[in-house]
Amino acid sequence: MMTTCSDEMKTAIAKPVLVQLAGALLCAAVSFALTLVLARVFGPARFGHYVAVLNLAAVALIFQEGGWPAWLYRESAQPNCLPHQSSALACGHVLVATSGLTALCLLLQAPSTWVAACLCMGAVAAMNMVSARMRGAGLFTQEAVWQSTGRVLSAVAILAFVALSAAPDIAGVFIVWGIGLAAVLAWGGRAWIGWPRWPWTDGWSVLARNYRKLWPFVVMAATGAWLVKGDMVLLGLDWGPSLPAQDVSMYAACTRLTEAALLVFAPFTNVLFRQLNQLHAAQDAAALSRYGLRSMALALCLGAWGVGCAVGLGGAVMAWLFGPSFAAAGALLPWVACMLPLTMANLVVAQWLTALGCERVLSVWMLLAAGVLSVCLPWWAAEGSVHGAALAAAAAQGVLLCLSCGSLARARQIPRLLN
């Protein structure tokens, strides 16, 4: 019986993972190629600033999404759901949050780059809402095509802007990025986006009733983004003794590689959540534990392999990809990559705990880990430059993994793994 269940799960997850992986590889390849172009266009002097703004925008994106993608994914995967009603609430949240953040930037007289990034992330949030509904419906092939189309079209728009501008600025990159995504949404997203009715009285009442269920997803999404991208944001804020702009740019180039690795790994966790959720609904605790353990072991092995590649090939890879001016980043790459095994394992454990309904305690652990990063990185960067920043990022992921595994043990998952 257990063998049959395991075989069925392997069959159920294999094709969606391959499809999602193909889409993620295409998106990663396009994004990485675009990063290489922008690194050469902006140079070591401005590339670090671009990455810092991009990471800050990614953190703002979490509040623009408001936890709705994860909510829509889980709700759409359940029987007798009303995803269109939730999609209307999600759309209303994106509109309000994006408008509010943009108005705040204008009120504070923030740089135009920040305003452009906020507007661009609003389009990204809408794209992710559509993706969540497609995944919940099990349409993984259609979702991969959807995200790939958005990534390719927006990249073409950015490359055209860079090619036609004598001196392209960072704000312009975000503007044309958002325009490309808006075109994709207008073309193929209307059937998946539920626009809120005006006046939005029904929306506010439903939102209020579900707030207690929604807030852990907001915290998890915000802290998850901060744990991956907060290092560059903190380095960009220049707390403590000022770090040379060139060192920050070298660190930024290394993070592009680690984030590309996480992007390629993400399809596995996207499909994994649906399978874990179904095992939990079927009350098959043994299969759930076995599936989770094997997935976590795979994540650790892949991450360790990435660190080994960084140690052996870092110098050659950085010089080849980013140009001779970034050759010195090769020695830094293994330091930045040391967070990969921990982060990949955390991605699996997060899906595992969410499937068990433990998202509240997980959100608390992620918040504590984000606090570790926020406190340790400025301190360790002041003592050990960008190498200290890399260790702080890894330490935060390690804290999260230890706390999350403790929660699995309390949920009686770890004992089952040992039997």
How far, in Å, CA of 324 to CA of 340, rounded? 25
How far, in Å, CA of 282 to CA of 39, rounded? 49
Number of domains in the chain: 1
Residue 202 pLDDT: 53
How far, in Å, CA of 58 to CA of 125, rounded? 10
pTM value > 0.85: no
Crossing angle of helices 112-136/83-107, nearest 10°? 170
pLDDT averaged per 10 residues, the chain (length 419): 48 68 81 84 79 81 80 67 65 84 86 89 90 81 88 92 84 92 87 62 56 74 83 68 73 86 82 76 77 88 91 81 78 90 93 84 92 89 83 94 89 53
Domain ranges, residue 364: 2-418
Residue 419 pLDDT: 44
